[in-house]
Every structure is written in structure tokens, then in C-alpha cells.
Amino acid sequence: MIRLQSLRKITQRRDTSLIILIVLLLAVVTMRAPGFVSADNIQRIVNDTSILVMVSLGQFFVILAGGIDLSVGSVIGLSGMAAAMTNQYYPGIPAVVVLLIGVGVGLVLGLINGVVVAYGKVPAIITTLGTLSIYRGLTFVLSKGQWVTAHEMTDSYMRLPHGNLFGISNLIWWGVLVSVLMFYFSGYTRRGREIYAIGGNKVAAKFVGVSEQKIYMIIFTLSGMLGGLAGVLWTSRYAAAVNETASGFELQTVAACVIGGVSIAGGSGAVPGVILGALFLGIINNALPVINLSPFYQLFIQGAIVLGAMLINTVSERRREQELLKGRQR
Amino acid sequence: MSETILEIKQLTKYFPGIKALDGVHLTVRTGEVHALIGENGAGKSTLVKILTGVYTLTSGEVLLDGKPLVCRNALEAQACGIAAIHQEASMFPELSVTENIYMGHHIIHPKTKRVDWATMRKETQTLLDSLELEIDCNTLVKNLGVAQRHMVEIAKALSLNARIVIMDEPTSALSLREVEDLYKIVRKLKDDGKAIIFISHKFDEIFEICDYFTILRDGRYIGEGLVKESSVDAMVNMMVGRSLDQMYPKKEVKIGRPVLEVQQLAQTGYFQDVSFTLHAGEILGFFGLIGAGRSEVMRTLFGIDSRSHGTVLLDGKEIHIRKPSEAMGYGIAFVPEDRQSQGVILEMSIAKNITLPQIDALSRYGITHKKRELEVTETFGEKMEIRAAGWHVDADTLSGGNQQKVVLAKWIATNPRILILDEPTKGIDVATKAAVHQFVSEMAAEGMAVLLISSELPEVLGMSDRIIVMHEGALTAEFSRDEATSDSVIKAATGHTAGNGGEQ
């Protein structure tokens, strides 16, 4: 009985239950395809998922504050295109500066979202639905519909994600860096904690002097910056900047958050959960072809997982409430 | 022994067209629990909002330690040592107790420049322990009960070095035992030299815990005095400007034949083996602590929750109610406890609210018959003495008491045979309360059968023909009107029945 309870305690925590789930998933896939859990392949999966992790963390803070950023896919597209074209037309500019330009473009785009939501009082879902189209449209305007391809990019630009340090690819290091920074931000800074306050109870947050506007500005700008970084890394990684880069990617970031236990109503969730949620999605995406499941099933399965995660969230919440009620009767 | 900490003189506050406060006086001393008494709309909330910086005063003086108090928002009020305990509204359910206390002013470690969790946790636990609260500082607030949340709110006020703590109807959502815990804390604060402004509608509370009182009526100062030198009658007189001879105007009614028979009704986890019979013209009171399962029984009867066991007979015939519309079809009406979220649709007019349950009967081809809608509204609105600018104004313009009347009117307009009332007078003022009681009594006299859930003992004792007491999901006692006393009913509600006395 005691053991059963501690098991339940473990599964009640989203991060630990996700780790168990990921291990189970890896075990099942390995039975069908023995090479799946090799060090090489794991690194490949993590590498593939790094961008999703970064952008999902940006999305996480927006959702945590009670909003949603549907424009991230377009932010990645536009800032990626801007960076790639800078690299194409001014090959002399160092790659790091190009990277900063990409992040800067993302910052501005995020800032625009933030201003409209914070000061224009337009709901986040509407604002970013609008900018989703606007930013994507601007990408086409900027590129005049043209692509930037591998031979138009400099080597140093393409090394941004592809190089490696201690045998681990730069892209993974970027993901790790962002994860660590965001973990610190969410847990150990005042602003980070205040995001929880805004999402948890806006009125109460105001009463203790937390500025809703300031928080909205911070989270959308942050999400934009991470989108900008992702845009640069995306175009350099695939050595191509197309107009449709990361189209629909916003839904994957939302999915990673939901799977990671972030409440879509705001106020609850944590960085480790989001990282695990993104990795879980990454493993699924990589595993499906390996076990000979048609890629046509991918979207279907992703959607089913998101719905399943949502159901688990609500059911466990209801059970907790009932236990609280019973506790009161005693 | 105690000195004046807060002094309000000639305070006046105008809103466009309304004089909310008119020459109000209030003097609060350290180590004092000061009851602020008045009906809804008497100006208590306005006064509190001026003290906490939400409103600015029009004229008059507010002196803190003899110096004029200037605060433009809740933060500045806090800095001045004034803290209002809000009813739940100001918590972050998903965050820990520690963080609820420190949100907005997290401790930052001087060297590492990061949020200093260790110190915050230590301070919080020390604070909780000093209040003798058995709460762990790492608990998420959503896992705390209503009472414990309240205690955390108080702890938060103390962490901000509050010297004046304002409690606005702090006991309205608490069970009897939790109220005792609250009193303990209030007494402790008092001993520590804090001043407490205690807003309440309940006289037993005022006499239990308060030292001094100030009474407001219609935004005016009426009087003040020592609680122990006053009486309920005197206070009621000052509050309403007239004496309410009959607080509980229960009419003598001849009890008719059984209407509703409930046999061994159960819902797993909430209540079990609930059996009772309700007669025509009878008011059957249900008393118990919060969480005793009374509301759940009624929700199950009305078809909102499903039962796991039991039978329900209407006029001797077994009925199966699976959803509220079926219950309404059998002539059962249910006035829920939370009128804001379950009873009134704030954005709709009074007329639309009242006629909502019978919208089909008042419509033809899907279009409502305006004239008949108005007729129904007028009949029942006037019966309930709803005070409003017109029947077509939105319900959110009404005071809480009048909203409650709208809810009542709405269900009674359906002409039910059985009326279920869940805390019908919670949080409303004395005069509205009396009107509601009067009305319920009249309806029973006309043969309606009433199930009355109330956590206010005087109300249950005063209104019911029979009283059923529930404890932890089971019926523990039944009393006739003549048998029931405060003592016996409370004992049954807390589980101290003969045979298992001593058990909590």
C-alpha cells in the first residue's frame, strides 16, 4: 500500500512521469528497431529537437502568463529569412553578427506582439493570429518569393549549428544554453516568478504590485527573441531559407507545453516539463519511420498525444479537488 | 492601555450622483477588534476601499498616527501598514504558501542576486509557526482548505508588517470549527497590539470577538460603543433605523401530506443513506458544517449530480431524475448557493432573468412574448420587493441582496411544488434577509414544500418546522421545531451525538 502510494506520488509529478514514459517509449521502439537507443541516434534525436525545445520555452512563458503566441512559426520564418539574406548579400559580416541580427528581428517582432497585447488590450490569441499572417506575408515581401540556398550561404553561417564542441553539436549546446537560462529565469528571478502570478491570478498580481503590461512585454519579446534565434539556426542547419520555414511550428510548441504539463489557462507549469514534452514529441517523430509506420500517421499521432495529455491534466486536477473535498469532511 | 492608531473624521465620498459616504467617523485603537456594522450599501466597502487606496476621498480627514494618510493604491496602503484580507480573491492557487506570501517582494540574495528561496521558506515557516498554523510553507495553496487559505492571507498581511488588518466577512465561507481557529488568530493579533477592523453581518460573531463597534447606515455615521455594553436589539435598531420585531416571521402552517420521500439516497464519496420525507407546507431545515454533504444531497435530488444508490418518491410514485430539466418538470426548483455564478446572469435584464426558466411557456415560434414576460416579472418582482431602476436594467446593476431576490423570484415564478434553497441569505443584509424570510414563509403557507439549507443556526432554528442535521455525509439527528436548541443542533452537526461523544 505504501509502495503504491509513493508510486502514485511519482506519477503525479509531470516531469518524472514523462521520464518514465520516454523510457518506456524508447524500450518499445528498441524492440522493433534495436539500433534506436544508440548514442549516435540519441544525439541525432536531441539535435533534431533542440529548436523545438528553445521555441517551446518561449511559448511556455507566454502560456504561463495566460496568453498564447501563435506567431512563433512566422517569427522563425521571417527572422530566418532576414538573417539568411543578410548572409547572402553581405557575406563579409561575421556569422555571429548575423545571428544577432536574426535575434534582433525576432525581438522586434515579439515586441510588436507585446505592445498590441499589453497596451492595445487585444487578446493574445487574436493578436498573434494576426501577426502570424503579417509576419509570414512580410517574409514573402522581403524575399520576393525567392529562396536562399546552400551555395549562397557562407560556411561560417552554416557552422553555427553544425560545428561541435566536445563531440556534441553546436545546435544541442544552443538548446542546453537556452534551457539553462530559462530554468534560471523562471525559478530564480523576480520577473520570472511574476509571470506565474499574472497567469495564476491577474487581480491578485496587481494587488501586490506586479505590472501586467510589463510582464506581457517581457514574455512576448522573449518568445520573439527565441523565435529569432531559432530562425537563424533553422535556416543555417538546413542550409536553406524558404518562405514556408517553420509554417505550423507554433502548434508543435503548444503541444510540447501541454504534454509537459503546462496549464493552458496559465499559472502552472515548469521548464523541465516543457523540455521533456518537446523531447517526447521529438522521439515520437523520429521513431515512427523507424518502426515502419507511415509518416502520414505523424500528425494524427501528435494530435492524439496532445489530446491525451490534456485529458490527463484535467482528470488529475479533478481527482485532486475531490480529495481536497474528502479531506475537509474529516 | 491602547492608543488611537486610525482616526477618520467627517469623511465624505461622492460618486457621480451618489453620496456613498457622508460625514463618517471611525476611531480605531491598537489591540482592538473593531466591528464595522451596517447593511449592504451602508458604505462599509467604500470606507475600506478608501483606506486601502482604491478610492480617494472627496472631503474629510483620515489620520494614521495623527498624520494624514495618503495612499493611492493597495501597495502604498500596505507600506502604511494597512492590509485588507480579501476573500480568496488574492491568492495564487498554483503557487506555494511561501510564494503567496512573498509575491511582489521576493527576497533577493544580496550576493547571488537571485531569488533566495531558502530564506523565504524559513521566514514563512517561522511566521506560520508563530500563528500556530499547521501548514507547511511548501504546500501549494490549491491544496489548502478555505479556512487555511484565509490564515495564509492573514500571515501575508503580517509579513508586510500590517498594523491595521481589515477583515471583510471573514467567516462567510468557513465551517464552525474553522471559525474557532480564526477567532484564535484574531485574538492573537489583538494581543500583539494590532488593530483589527472586522466587518460582519453576524451578531454572534460580533459579540464573540469584537470589543468596539461603529455602525453606518446609508453612508452616514450612526453610532459607536463598547460591544459588551450593547445588545443585538440595539444594534439592529441602529442599523436599520427601525426595530425588526420579527426576525423570523415563521407562519403557523398546517402541514399537509407527504410530497417527497427520499429513501437511502447515496453518492459515493459525498453522502450515504440519506432518507427523509418532505410534506406540503413544510419548511425542512438542513443544518451541518461546510462539507457535510447537504448541498450534494440537493444537487443529486435536482439531477445535477448522479446518485449511486437510493429511491426518490414524488406523491408516492417513484421518479428518476437524471437532469435538472426533468426535476423542473416535476415541479422542483433549486436556488443555488452561489448566486453570482449559478443563479443570476449578470448581463441580462431583470425581466429576462426572472422569466428564463419558463422561456418556452412565454414564447411562441421561438419569439418571446414581451408583454407576458413583463407581467410575470412585475408580479414576482413586486412580491419580492426588488428595488431596481426598471425591469429592463441589467442584473449586474443590482446590489447583492436584490440579485438574490431576483434568483428567488425567478424560481418561484415557475410555481414549483418543492423549493430547494441553498444558503438563501448568505452575505445579504438584515433587511433583505427579513424580506426573504417573510416571502419563504408565505410560500410555505400557500402549500409549497421547502428544503432550506443554511449554515446560520438562528435562520434554521427560526424558519424550520423540522430540522435535519448532517455530519460527514450522513444524517445524524432530526429535531422538531420545539425540540431543537442551538446546543443540540450544533452537537449533532459536529458529530457529538449520544454514543460517540468525544469523537471529532
In the predicted model, is pLDDT for residue B244 greater than 50? no
Q: How does pLDDT run across B376-397, given as a tens digit for each residue?
A: 787 777 777 777 767 777 777 7
Q: How does pLDDT run across B92-113, given as a tens digit for each residue?
A: 888 889 988 888 888 888 888 8
Judgement on whether residues B222 and B255 belong to the same structural domain of the protein: no
Mutate to test the interface with A, among B78, B97, B103 (most CBs of A within 10 A): B103
Average confidence (pLDDT) over B215-240: 81
pLDDT at B498: 44
Q: Report strand pairing: B195-199 vs B33-37.
A: parallel
Of the listed ranges A202-206, B287-291, B481-485, the least confidently predicted one is B287-291
pLDDT at A322: 67
The answer to whether A223 and A62 have CB atoms below 8 angstroms apart is yes
Judgement on whether residues B199 and B153 belong to the same structural domain of the protein: yes
- Residues of A within 8 A of B162 (CB-CB) are none
DSSP β-bridge partners for residue B197: B34, B166
pLDDT at B94: 86
Q: What is the DSSP letter of B113?
A: -
Residue of A nearest to B89 (CA): A204
pLDDT at B504: 34
pLDDT at A330: 36
* Selected residue with higher pLDDT from A34 and B359: A34
| B103/A208 touch (CB, cutoff 8 Å), yes or no | yes
Residue of B nearest to A201 (CA): B92
* Selected residue with higher pLDDT from B381 and B320: B320
pLDDT at B241: 65
Which of B188, B213, B240 finishes a domain?
B240
The answer to whether B138 and B96 have CB atoms below 8 angstroms apart is yes
Of the listed ranges B466-470, B489-493, B496-500, the least confidently predicted one is B496-500
Q: Is A210 left (phi over 0), alpha (psi -120 to 50) or beta?
A: beta
Give start and end residues of each alpha helix (H) in B160-289.
Answer: 176-191, 203-209, 232-240
Residue given cell 428544503 in the structure block: B451
Average confidence (pLDDT) over B251-255: 78
CA A141 from centroid of its chain's CA atoms:
26
CATH of the domain at A46: 1.10.3470
| A330/B472 touch (CB, cutoff 8 Å), yes or no | yes
- Based on its alpha-carbon atoms, the radius of gyration of chain B, rounded to whole angstroms, reads 25
**Banded pLDDT at B340 (limits 50, 70, 90):** low
Judgement on whether residues B165 and B83 belong to the same structural domain of the protein: yes
| B103/A210 touch (CB, cutoff 8 Å), yes or no | yes
- Residues of B within 8 A of A194 (CB-CB) are 103-104
Average confidence (pLDDT) over B206-218: 86
pLDDT at A234: 92
In the predicted model, is pLDDT for residue B141 greater than 90? no
Among A22, A103, A71, A38, which residue's Cα sits nearest to residue A272?
Answer: A22
| A325/B90 touch (CB, cutoff 8 Å), yes or no | no
- Residues of A within 8 A of B139 (CB-CB) are none
CATH of the domain at B465: 3.40.50.300
pLDDT at B139: 85
* Selected residue with higher pLDDT from B386 and B442: B442
Judgement on whether residues B130 and B234 belong to the same structural domain of the protein: yes
Judgement on whether residues B104 and B199 belong to the same structural domain of the protein: yes
pLDDT at A274: 93
pLDDT at B338: 66
Residue B359's domain comprises: 338-415
Q: How does pLDDT run across A82-97, given as a tens digit for each residue?
A: 999 998 888 888 888 9
Cell triple for A218: 517581457
Q: How many domains does chain B have?
A: 3
A196, A207, A324 member nearest B90 (Cβ):
A207
* Selected residue with higher pLDDT from A43 and B393: A43
Q: How does pLDDT run across B450-464, given as a tens digit for each residue?
A: 999 987 777 888 888
Phi and psi, residue B475, nearest 5°: -75, 130
Judgement on whether residues B490 and B469 belong to the same structural domain of the protein: yes
CA distance linking residue B60 with residue B315, whole number of Å: 64
pTM for this model (two decimals): 0.70
Q: How many domains does chain A have?
A: 1
B90, B108, B290 member nearest A190 (Cβ):
B108
- Residues of B within 8 A of A205 (CB-CB) are 92, 103-104
Judgement on whether residues B326 and B208 belong to the same structural domain of the protein: no
CA distance linking residue A224 with residue A96, whole number of Å: 18
A190, A267, A327 member nearest B106 (Cβ):
A190
Q: How many contacts does A have with B, using Cβ atoms within 8 A?
A: 84
Nearest-Cα distance to chain B for A79, in Å, is 32
In the predicted model, is pLDDT for residue A192 greater than 80? yes
Whether ipTM exceeds 0.85: no
CA distance linking residue B502 with residue B504, whole number of Å: 6
Residue A279's domain comprises: 2-262+269-329
pLDDT at A116: 95
pLDDT at A230: 94
CA distance linking residue B472 with residue B296, whole number of Å: 12
CA distance linking residue A259 with residue A307, whole number of Å: 9
The answer to whether B63 and B6 have CB atoms below 8 angstroms apart is yes
Nearest-Cα distance to chain A for B292, in Å, is 6
Q: How does pLDDT run across A1-31, given as a tens digit for each residue?
A: 445 455 555 555 667 778 888 888 888 888 8
CA distance linking residue B450 with residue B416, whole number of Å: 10
Which of B366, B400, B415 finishes a domain?
B415
CA distance linking residue B367 with residue B383, whole number of Å: 27
The answer to whether A17 and A10 have CB atoms below 8 angstroms apart is yes
Residue given cell 479556512 in the structure block: B147
Average confidence (pLDDT) over A39-57: 89
pLDDT at B499: 38
| A190/B115 touch (CB, cutoff 8 Å), yes or no | yes
Q: How does pLDDT run across A255-271, given as a tens digit for each residue?
A: 899 888 888 888 888 89
Rounded alpha-carbon distances, angstroms, from residue B227 to B194, B212, B218, B257, B502:
18, 5, 22, 47, 33
CA distance linking residue B170 with residue B179, whole number of Å: 9
**Banded pLDDT at B294 (limits 50, 70, 90):** confident
Percentage of the residues of chain A whose pLDDT score is greater than 70: 92
CA A317 from centroid of its chain's CA atoms:
24
**Banded pLDDT at B118 (limits 50, 70, 90):** confident
Q: What is the DSSP letter of B469?
A: E
DSSP 3-state of B342: helix
pLDDT at A102: 93
Residue given cell 499572417 in the structure block: A133
- Residues of A within 8 A of B145 (CB-CB) are 324, 327-328
Average confidence (pLDDT) over B216-225: 83
Exposure string for B426-452, b = 16+ CB within 10 A, e = fewer: bbbbbbbbbbbbbbbbebbeeebbbbb
| B104/A327 touch (CB, cutoff 8 Å), yes or no | no
| B95/A200 touch (CB, cutoff 8 Å), yes or no | yes
* Selected residue with higher pLDDT from A169 and B175: A169
pLDDT at B245: 47
pLDDT at B500: 38
* Selected residue with higher pLDDT from B302 and B16: B302
Judgement on whether residues B132 and B49 belong to the same structural domain of the protein: yes
Which of B193, B222, B240 finishes a domain?
B240
**Banded pLDDT at A185 (limits 50, 70, 90):** very high
Residue given cell 436556488 in the structure block: B335
pLDDT at A2: 45
Judgement on whether residues B347 and B408 belong to the same structural domain of the protein: yes
Interface of A with B (CB under 8 A): 184, 187-190, 193-194, 196-197, 200-201, 203-205, 207-210, 263, 267-268, 320, 322, 324-330
pLDDT at A126: 92
pLDDT at B178: 77
Q: What mean pLDDT is reported for chain B?
A: 80
DSSP 3-state of B429: coil
In the predicted model, is pLDDT for residue B366 greater than 70? no
Judgement on whether residues B223 and B92 belong to the same structural domain of the protein: yes
Judgement on whether residues B326 and B346 belong to the same structural domain of the protein: no
